[in-house]
Structure 1
């Protein structure tokens, strides 16, 4: 797992379980807007692929989000998916 420096205000321990909820608003005084759908969509797509996403955060020190996806079993004879560059 790559290590990244945490940035931002961080998320309190009480707020972390809800950070992936749709339109959730944190209790931190600087939170003057809702989080929207982004993290909820990330969680839904990740779980649909058998993975999970977590947040590690310290209030005042920033947050790190980690996404785990299972490795695909390549024992079948299915061809590897092709990837084309976006133009």
Structure 2
């Protein structure tokens, strides 16, 4: 994920994740990232390309009481992807503090 900042240009995740971590927006961005990754995986799968995609998830997002249920619902929309297609990575910046 990258942010096309109006003044600073294209910023890598490391430059704006700390800002998200302090806000509920982290959960919304996380949901968007998972959904986008699943759609991309589906599109690649349709062309015969199979490769895993990793999505960074904040601890705030992952600790939601309904995280597993929401993830299960999202995955259910893409049954042909198979296990291992989507990898979740817990952001290191959130686990250290």
Report TM bin, short chain. under 0.3
Relative to total residues, which structure has the larger helix share, 1 or 2? 2
Q: TM-score, normalised by structure 1?
A: 0.28
